[in-house]
Structure 1
Amino acid sequence: MKPYSQLRAMLAITKASFRAIFRSPSAVIFGFAFPLIFILVFGFIGGNGRTQTYKVAIEENADTANALYKALVNTQGVSIIRYKDKDSLTDDMEKGKLAGIINIQKNVSGNPPYNFTLKSTNSSNDKWPQFKTLVESVINQLSNQFYRDRPAYASFDFDPKRDIFEIRQYKSIDFILPGQLGFSLLASGVFGVAFMFFNLRNTLVLKRFFATPISRTHIILGEMLSRVLFQILTAIVIILLGHFFFGFTLIHGFNTFFNMLVLSFIGLIVFMGFGFIVSGLATSDNTIPPFANLITLPQFLIGGTFFSVSVFPVWLQWIAKIMPLTHLNEALRDVAFEGKSLWDVKIEIGILLLWGVIVYAVAVKVFKWE
């Protein structure tokens, strides 16, 4: 008689649970449908940048003691930023956050009194044409105000062929897709695990498992493995769909793709811990959604899913930066677009792992078998 194999029993549970997941409408909706719908919407919207703004940087040596600079500062919809960190300036230019870099200098020849220059990138093609028109309007207004014979208050030295630099563009899908992937992992980890183990306990399936020689550890591992396989498959579909249909950036190809899957695995394991907590605290099917939403909804709204955490007030940014989904989203974006390695995002991974230790410590205390 062959000895009982815990591994084979665990894999049998994994296979059965994996099939059950695909038969669950909620699992398919939260795992595939919702993220794909958002990706399709934002993918078709397109756009080279995340927002249509007129943020501009000013050169360090620019002359700011003139009417043109003051007029631009006071122009509605224009925000002039003086960068101290060149890396931040380069990053914002690459991601299309700026309409361009401006410089205002006195003309030593005397007429016109100021030279105005603008430099930008192809990542801001949706911004610099409008900003150029706005600057020309401001110059005309100042010319009418200061000169009767209407000479130009400033010469606008700008040639798109010379002053627009070609760079790798940061598209809306580069921001949206990692957020939707993170949302899919969070929703599946929390809701999926919570409902799964509560139903196994409520329908006495766990008691039937106890009648077999399989250990409790292998029961949990088997169910977890099925959830991991399902979500990794979801992650693969989401990433490849975004890459091949909407141009989602995988800067280092397969290496970037693999690193994103590793991050997805780490994030999912952490989020499943929340699911174990919810299943342990829930007393009925009706109490699972409130508990689960209490965990997922704040992270979904302010965890950098749809827009950058930087748009929030400072006090809310502090809260957002505590949440595990925020760090998963940031790590996914840094790996995909910036080309960072897993070691480069070790801080985000470390915070996720710290959350994992805390969450599973709580889960062990509150998880119920019966």
Structure 2
Amino acid sequence: MGSLGQLVLMRLRVLWRQPEVLFWTFVFPIVTTLVLGLAFRNESLGPVRVAIAQGEGATELSARLAGTPELEVETLELIEARRQLARGRVMLVLVPGTPEPEALVDPSQAEGRTARLLVMQALSRAPDAPRLEAVRTTPVSEPGNRYIDFLIPGLLGMSLMSSSLWALAVPLVSMRGGKLLKRLAGTPMSRTHFFLAFLLGRTAFAVLEVAFFCAFARWLFGVPMFGSYGALLGMGLLGAMCFASLALLVSIRAHNEEAVGGLVNLVSMPMLFLSGVFFASDNFPGWLQPVIHALPLTALNDSLRAIMLEGTSLMALGPAMLVLAAWTVLPLVVALRWFRWV
């Protein structure tokens, strides 16, 4: 074998010994296919959800729609029904009225037209039903129901996770490789203060991160804010602290800068697919939902969306905050216990 062959063989051996290359080449495509296959698997179409606004005649309308298997009917207050319509959780709101009911539909929802036709067909079966053209259809469009409105909170959560993991794990491993951590360990420096400096610095940067996302989402896309900016900032800071703790945990396992990249991807990639960044996590099967809801990015994304699009207060987000707190404290305790300075 000539010199060129030896050099090619050397490069192949180097690539084979790099786990991150093998991961992105062989493992990542398989995992991505399996995860997206679960999320967008072929299933029979379920019933179309329709809400009936409470009021006189609501019980009668509900009884007349109950015999249609293609419809899932629930009775709600009008304000709540319109909120569910704006969030895409119901496809049509039927408001009782005299002499004819009124159908509220969102023109941006493809299933709204199907729901309207099913409702009119069901109402026309009764002998005393109004004519099809007598059911008034009113298009409604409210802020917060576009895909960009769903996407922005997920991108904010993803950004907080990615920047926390990469901004802390990589510098720590680099400092260890350059023997800087060993020198710092020999100084009177408090080790607790050393880690707190990383966490507090990350938290301060997260303030700018949240403000940037809110500003460009509002100015460029008109994404609404139904909740409090203070609540959004508080949840964002808790999320940043959570993923900063995970970054410290990752840094104790990585021996060099090449390995830390693979570990960061191993931690973050499953959550990018499972935690509802680009599409709703409800797409995954029911047996996977407990695992998904235990992930920190799921708790963060769901909380950010609840604050921005539904006006939820921090007090109502207790379970999600407990999940983030657990993912903050436990990795931090383990990292401080087994952190390697050399």
**Alpha-carbon spacing, 1:297–1:135, altered in 2? closer, same or farther (3 Å):** same
Encode CA deviations 1:42-70: one digit per residue, 9 max, x unaligned.
xxxxxxxxxxx96434665337679x965
1:170 matched residue in structure 2: 145
1:180 matched residue in structure 2: 155
**Alpha-carbon spacing, 1:226–1:319, altered in 2? closer, same or farther (3 Å):** same
Distance 2:95 2:201 in 1: 58
**Alpha-carbon spacing, 1:135–1:118, altered in 2? closer, same or farther (3 Å):** farther
Distance 2:113 2:75 in 1: 26
Equivalent of 2:316, from 344, 347, 358? 344
Amino acid at match of 1:158: V
Q: Secondary structure at the match of 1:281?
A: coil
Distance 1:235 1:282 in 2: 29
Misfit runs of 4+, over 6 Å: 63-66, 136-139
**Alpha-carbon spacing, 1:296–1:99, altered in 2? closer, same or farther (3 Å):** same
- 1:191-206 correspondence to structure 2 within 5 Å: 191-206=166-181
1:22 matched residue in structure 2: none
**Alpha-carbon spacing, 1:358–1:211, altered in 2? closer, same or farther (3 Å):** closer
2:93 matched residue in structure 1: 101
Distance 2:188 2:119 in 1: 80
Distance 1:366 1:331 in 2: 32
Equivalent of 1:82, from 67, 73, 77? 73
Distance 1:232 1:62 in 2: 50
Paired residues of 2:92 and 2:116 also in contact (CA < 8 A): no
1:12 matched residue in structure 2: none
Count of aligned residue pairs for this structure pair? 285
1:310 matched residue in structure 2: 282
Q: Secondary structure at the match of 1:306?
A: coil
Distance 1:102 1:268 in 2: 43
Paired residues of 1:324 and 1:352 also in contact (CA < 8 A): yes
Distance 1:183 1:260 in 2: 15
Task: Give the superposed CA RMSD.
Answer: 3.6
Distance 2:145 2:307 in 1: 14
Paired residues of 2:231 and 2:313 also in contact (CA < 8 A): yes
Encode CA deviations 1:239-287: one digit per residue, 9 max, x unaligned.
11001211111125xxx22221111111111111111111101122232
1:120 matched residue in structure 2: 104
1:56 matched residue in structure 2: 50
Q: What is the TM-score normalised by the length of structure 1?
A: 0.66
Encode CA deviations 1:115-136: one digit per residue, 9 max, x unaligned.
9855115x55544773478559
Equivalent of 2:300, from 304, 320, 328? 328
* Structure 1 position 92 matched with structure 2 position 84: yes
Paired residues of 1:280 and 1:363 also in contact (CA < 8 A): yes
Q: Secondary structure at the match of 1:156?
A: helix
Paired residues of 1:194 and 1:278 also in contact (CA < 8 A): yes
Equivalent of 2:113, from 107, 112, 130? 130
Amino acid at match of 1:56: V
Q: Secondary structure at the match of 1:307?
A: coil
1:269 matched residue in structure 2: 241
TM-superposed deviation, 1:327? 1.0
**Alpha-carbon spacing, 1:307–1:271, altered in 2? closer, same or farther (3 Å):** same
Q: Bigger shift: 55-64 or 232-241?
A: 55-64
**Alpha-carbon spacing, 1:116–1:181, altered in 2? closer, same or farther (3 Å):** same
TM-superposed deviation, 1:157? 2.1
**Alpha-carbon spacing, 1:245–1:357, altered in 2? closer, same or farther (3 Å):** same
**Alpha-carbon spacing, 1:129–1:321, altered in 2? closer, same or farther (3 Å):** closer
Encode CA deviations 1:291-310: one digit per residue, 9 max, x unaligned.
22222122111112122222
Amino acid at match of 2:270: P
Q: Which runs of 5+ in 1 are unaligned?
A: 1-52, 74-78, 105-114, 144-151
Q: State the identity as a percent.
A: 24
Amino acid at match of 1:92: Q
Paired residues of 2:165 and 2:244 also in contact (CA < 8 A): yes
Encode CA deviations 1:191-217: one digit per residue, 9 max, x unaligned.
322111100111112233345443222
Paired residues of 1:100 and 1:118 also in contact (CA < 8 A): no
Distance 2:210 2:101 in 1: 45
1:21 matched residue in structure 2: none
Distance 1:284 1:355 in 2: 25
Q: What is the TM-score normalised by the length of structure 2?
A: 0.70
Distance 1:181 1:279 in 2: 24
**Alpha-carbon spacing, 1:218–1:153, altered in 2? closer, same or farther (3 Å):** closer
* Structure 1 position 158 matched with structure 2 position 135: yes
- 1:255-294 correspondence to structure 2 within 5 Å: 256-294=228-266
Paired residues of 2:246 and 2:327 also in contact (CA < 8 A): no
Distance 2:310 2:298 in 1: 17
1:13 matched residue in structure 2: none
Distance 2:323 2:115 in 1: 44
**Alpha-carbon spacing, 1:153–1:247, altered in 2? closer, same or farther (3 Å):** closer
